[in-house]
């Protein structure tokens, strides 16, 4: 006769009343006799205990590895050994400080971006004024040349000797 013990130890809450009841049932069956049945049930119980023990060891090993990773990353935890609670506390403080630094840097980037935009606008305005000044200078030069031409008589009217074209 085979009576399976339900709910393995690896299930969450395995240490609860349901597991204890199943264990109690298995123990009661062990007390009743039949060596083969007792042996099968004992093997099943031992297998579950072993499986639970191994999975719990793997879980603890992974957690300890993660705490070691945190200890190496967080500057305040590098120098000496700390409890897991201290490592988590200092890691939270470190993350909070990093978040504040990021916010501050983002604000700096925004203000620098606004300043750059203002400088570009000033450069565009400066270029516009340079073009206007160049236009006014050219206009003034044209007017001055026109005024000069009006004041000086035509070159043909001056009695200047002609320069022979061959000499040129």
Q: What length is written for the chain?
A: 168
Q: What is the mean pLDDT of the chain?
A: 80
Higher per-residue pLDDT: 159 or 143: 143
pLDDT digits (tens, 9 = 90+) for 2-61: 445 444 444 444 455 444 556 666 666 556 557 888 888 889 999 999 999 999 999 999
Domains of the chain, CATH where assigned: 17-113 (4.10.280)
pLDDT digits (tens, 9 = 90+) for 98-139: 999 999 999 999 999 999 999 999 999 999 999 999 999 888
Residues contacting residue 9 through CB under 8 Å, at least 6 positions apart: 19, 48, 49, 51, 52
Question: Looking at residue 154, what is its pLDDT?
Answer: 59
Cα distances from 21 to residues 5, 27, 60, 100, 113, in angstroms, run 10, 10, 27, 53, 69
**Burial annotation 48-77 (CB, 10 A radius, 16+ → b, else e):** beeebeeeeeeeeeeeeeebeebbeebeeb
Contact indicator for 29, 41 with CB cutoff of 8 Å: yes
How far is residue 31's CA from residue 18's CA, in Å, rounded to a whole number?
20
């Amino acid at each position: 006769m085979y009576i399976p013990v339900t709910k393995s130890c690896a299930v969450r809450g395995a240490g609860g009343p349901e597991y204890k009841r199943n264990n109690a049932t298995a123990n009661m069956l062990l007390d009743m006799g039949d060596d083969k049945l007792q042996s099968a049930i004992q093997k099943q119980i031992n297998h579950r205990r072993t499986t639970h023990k191994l999975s719990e060891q793997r879980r603890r090993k992974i957690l300890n590895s993660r705490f070691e990773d945190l200890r190496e990353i967080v500057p305040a935890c590098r120098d000496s050994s700390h409890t897991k609670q201290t490592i988590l506390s200092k890691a939270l403080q470190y993350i909070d400080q990093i978040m504040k630094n990021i916010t501050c840097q983002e604000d700096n980037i925004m203000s620098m971006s606004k300043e750059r935009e203002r400088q570009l606008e000033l450069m565009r305005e400066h270029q516009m004024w340079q073009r206007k000044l160049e236009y006014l200078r050219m206009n003034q030069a044209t007017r001055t040349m026109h005024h000069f031409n009006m004041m000086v008589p035509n070159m043909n009217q001056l009695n200047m000797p002609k320069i022979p074209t061959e000499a040129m």
